[in-house]
Amino acid sequence: MRQIWQKLKVLGRGKLAFSAAMAYLLCLLVLISILPWLPLPYAPNYLDLSHTLQPPFSANAAGAEEGFHLLGTDALGRDVLSNMLYGARTAFFVSLPVMLLSTLLGLLVGMSAGYFAGKGVSLNRGKFLVLCLSFLLFAFYAVYLPAKAWRLGLGDDVIFYSLGTFLLFTVLLYTLFFSLFRRIRTLKKKVVFPVDELVLKVIEVLSSIPRFVLILLLAALFPPSVVLLSAILVFTLWTETARLARAEMLRTRQLSYFEAAHSLGLTNWQLLYRQALPNIVGPILVSFTFGLGSLLTLESTLSFLNIGVPTTFVSWGRLIAGIKTNTSAWWLVLFPGAMLTATVLALYTTSYYLTSAFTQHKD
């Protein structure tokens, strides 16, 4: 971690573009976190129907005494400036958690896949059997029955009983099988569970459909809501990080310090998270900043198309979509579009300089 911080400091001193991008991003983050306390004249969803489609900086925009539409209004009289700033707020509030979650998921899956590549996880048959059976139990008692009970509105006690049954059966299964293991020889034989192949297949299936099409498809299946859309985005984005983490893990696995740690007899967990992770964080950080930029684009594109988000959701995309009603209202595209582009550009710039910093280190 300290090493990464050092690198950031060196970059900040040397490269003007990098420090400019970082300064812009920091200012934006501060701005969007204190936004509710700023004295903006209009709320983003306030409809000022007496001043619709006002051009920016115009004199007659200052008509009402309560405020002044600095950057104009859209067809329903919503203030462009406050929509723009609140749009930045929601864009980051959606994108940051989504990107964090998908990076964590991808890191976890990719690192395990890379670590177990070629050897797989070996289990004895008995354990494997128990795992499969308890998975079936989980699917029925902890997913299917509670979901059905919830849909039918049968009350909490039914859900409670079915979860209880799941726990009871699992405990029974484990005690039964572990007492049987000692007796039956065939259950002791090893089965190799190919984690890496499985992960690669899943990634292949998910990326066989172009990402944007996949997101649109999933958004059509679920009702429009920000939480569900975020879940969909996490589900489709993790593969990128997983692929990178797997490749980095495969590289790290062959380094001599890692082999030394392995020969010391550390556990899998220690090897993965104490030894390998610090070496992998750098490239992941690069892909995080880059991914955040493309996620901002993706999110505003979706809200521009009005897919997956409710219509009351304040966003850059919705603001820009206002131009569909009047193509001469250039200010609806220019200002939010410029802000979106500047933010994405800042993120890409950061990611570019980080890449060069981390690849120099490798040589």
Partner 1 sequence: MPPYLLKRILYAIPFLWLVASVIFLLSRLLPGSFAEARILEEKQGYYSKGSQSTRQAVYQDYLHKTRQDLPLFYFSLSPALPQGVLLEADKLQAERLLWKYGDKEAVHPYLESLPHLEQELRLSPQDDAAEHLETLHKSLDKEKMLLAATAIYREATTKEAQKAAEQVVLGLQAMQPQPAYSFLLPTFTWHGAQNQYHQWLFQTLKGDLGVSYRSSRPVGELLWEAISNTFWLLLSSMLIVFFLALELSMCLVQGKGKYLRRFLFPSFFVLDSIPAFVLALLLLVLFANPSFLQLFPVFGMGYYAAENLPPFARAGQWLQYMALPLLCLVLANLPYITNQVYTAVQSARQADYARTARAKGLSERAVIRTHVLRNALLPVITLVSDVLPALVAGSVIIETIFAIPGVGRLLVESVLARDYPVLLAIVLLTVLVRLVAYFMADVTYRWADPRLKHRTA
Using CB under 8 A as the binding rule, whether residue 154 contacts partner 1 is answered as: yes
Using CB under 8 A as the binding rule, whether residue 57 contacts partner 1 is answered as: no
Using CB under 8 A as the binding rule, whether residue 247 contacts partner 1 is answered as: no
Q: How far is the CB of 299 from partner 1 (least distance, A)?
A: 10
Size of the site for partner 1 (CB under 8 A): 50
Among 65-73, 152-160, 183-191, 239-247, which window interacts with partner 1 (CB under 8 A)? 152-160
Q: What is the CA radius of gyration of the chain?
A: 26
Residue 46, by phi and psi: left (phi above 0), alpha (psi -120 to 50) or beta?
Answer: beta
Q: How far is the CB of 20 from partner 1 (least distance, A)?
A: 13
Among 110-118, 122-130, 239-247, 299-307, which window interacts with partner 1 (CB under 8 A)? 299-307
- DSSP notation for 44-95: TT---TTS-SPPTT-GGGG-STT---TT-B-TT--BHHHHHHHHHHHHHHHH
- Compute the half-sphere exposure of residue 143: CA atoms within 13 Å on the CB side of its CA: 7
Q: How far is the CB of 340 from partner 1 (least distance, A)?
A: 6
User: Site map for partner 1, 20-39, x if CB under 8 A?
Assistant: --------------------
Pick 181 or 358: Cβ nearer partner 1: 358
User: How far is 309 from 228, CA to CA, in rounded Å?
Assistant: 9
User: How far is 332 from 106, CA to CA, in rounded Å?
Assistant: 37
User: Among 64, 205, 260, 264, which residue interacts with partner 1 (rule: CB under 8 A)?
Assistant: 205
Beta-carbon contacts of 47 under 8 Å, excluding residues fewer than 6 positions away, are 76, 77, 78
DSSP 123: E
Pick 47 or 158: Cβ nearer partner 1: 158
Among 84-92, 148-156, 170-178, 354-362, which window interacts with partner 1 (CB under 8 A)? 148-156
Cβ neighbours, 10 Å, residue 176: 11
Q: Is 209 helix (H, G, I), strand (E, B) or coil?
A: coil
User: Site map for partner 1, 309-328, x if CB under 8 A?
Assistant: --------x--x--x---xx
Pick 68 or 169: Cβ nearer partner 1: 169
User: Among 200, 216, 231, 281, which residue interacts with partner 1 (rule: CB under 8 A)?
Assistant: 216
Q: How far is the CB of 212 from partner 1 (least distance, A)?
A: 6
Among 8-16, 123-131, 235-243, 297-305, which window interacts with partner 1 (CB under 8 A)? 297-305
The first and second tokens of residue 348, run together, are 């890409």
The first and second tokens of residue 86, run together, are 């609140």
H-run or E-run covering 211: helix 211-221
- Spacing of C-alpha 345 from chain mean position: 19
**Which residues are registered as beta bridge partners of 192?**
122
Handedness of CA 45, 24, 292, 231 (dihedral sign): negative
Pick 13 or 151: Cβ nearer partner 1: 151
Handedness of CA 223, 225, 228, 230 (dihedral sign): positive
Binding site for partner 1 (CB under 8 A): 140-141, 144-145, 148, 151-154, 158, 161-162, 165, 205, 208-210, 212-213, 216-217, 219-223, 293, 297, 300-301, 304-307, 317, 320, 323, 327-328, 330, 333-334, 337, 340-341, 344-345, 348-349, 352
